[in-house]
């Protein structure tokens, strides 16, 4: 049994992860963490399911990780980086689904992976990671003559834009086309923009309601348009992907891995 702690335990994703862990035949919930002002502190982590797990939600990170082998973290960059620091100290492995890290944050996670094993991915969905492979194939085959636009939609509470998944899709397409996304990305358009630069990759962001996560990449040519899309109807797909990552880490002493490694997919060229 893999002993798992969950960060952000009272949030939407945290609860989905807790439900998945409790239903898993080879994982056990060992810790549930949340911020110090969470109204859920002290409650049983499974109370929202009408169950008892015996694990109270707490804000003491060290105590919450005391019996954990792996921490699953889908929170905010600042909080995740603090969790990474302590996990490195305690030898606790990590599955990181948090997005919105700057380059310094990514470097800190890479440094921690010299001592502990970490799976980090902008999207833990198995389907999304298969879509990444399809995008690389499409971009290489279509090459010049097709304009690339990426449209993503998420719930009203999401704080970063474009989503980490949309940016990762852009990186895959740009890499397959031999471009640098930082040089060719266009984030939104307004006013008199002039004709579209054929070398750019455009991003459009939608925020509203309870949309779990929709991503569509359009390759727009003359006389045809190819769309590769992934639409999430439930956060359960992210939770199941996270548990696959937990199982993968069981055989890893250290290192930084992605979902390509977890799923045994060939590395995406970016």
Instruction: Name the residues annotated as catalytic.
Output: 154, 158
d(CA 33, CA 196): 47
d(CA 77, CA 160): 10
d(CA 8, CA 25): 23
Q: What tokens does 47 get?
A: 């109370």
Alpha helices in 51-204 (DSSP H): 61-64, 77-90, 103-112, 126-142, 164-176, 181-184
Neighbours of 164 (CB within 10 A): 17
Give the single-character DSSP code of 56.
B
Q: What tokens does 145 get?
A: 């003559």
């Amino acid at each position: 049994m893999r002993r798992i702690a969950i960060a952000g335990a009272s949030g939407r994703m945290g609860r989905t992860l807790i439900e998945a862990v409790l239903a898993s035949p080879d994982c056990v919930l060992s810790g549930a963490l949340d911020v110090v002002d969470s109204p859920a502190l002290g409650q049983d982590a499974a109370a929202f399911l009408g169950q008892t797990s015996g694990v109270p939600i707490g804000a003491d990170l060290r105590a919450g990780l005391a019996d954990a082998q792996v921490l699953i973290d889908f929170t905010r960059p600042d909080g995740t980086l603090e969790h990474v620091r302590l996990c490195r100290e305690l030898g606790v492995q990590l599955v990181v689904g948090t997005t919105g890290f700057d380059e310094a944050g990514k470097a800190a996670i890479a440094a921690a992976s010299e001592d502990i094993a970490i799976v980090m991915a902008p999207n833990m969905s198995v389907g999304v990671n298969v879509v990444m492979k399809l995008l690389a194939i499409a971009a290489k085959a279509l090459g010049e003559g097709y304009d690339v636009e990426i449209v993503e939609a998420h719930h009203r509470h999401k704080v970063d834009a474009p989503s980490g998944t949309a940016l990762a899709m852009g990186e895959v397409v740009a890499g397959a086309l031999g471009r640098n996304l930082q040089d060719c990305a266009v984030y939104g358009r307004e006013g008199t923009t002039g004709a579209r630069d054929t070398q750019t990759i455009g991003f459009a962001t939608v925020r509203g309601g309870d949309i779990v996560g929709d991503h569509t990449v359009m390759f727009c040519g003359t006389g045809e348009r190819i769309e590769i899309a992934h639409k999430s109807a439930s956060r359960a797909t992210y939770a199941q992907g996270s548990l696959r990552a937990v199982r993968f880490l069981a055989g890893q002493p250290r290192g930084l891995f992605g979902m390509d490694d977890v799923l045994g997919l060939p590395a995406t060229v970016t």
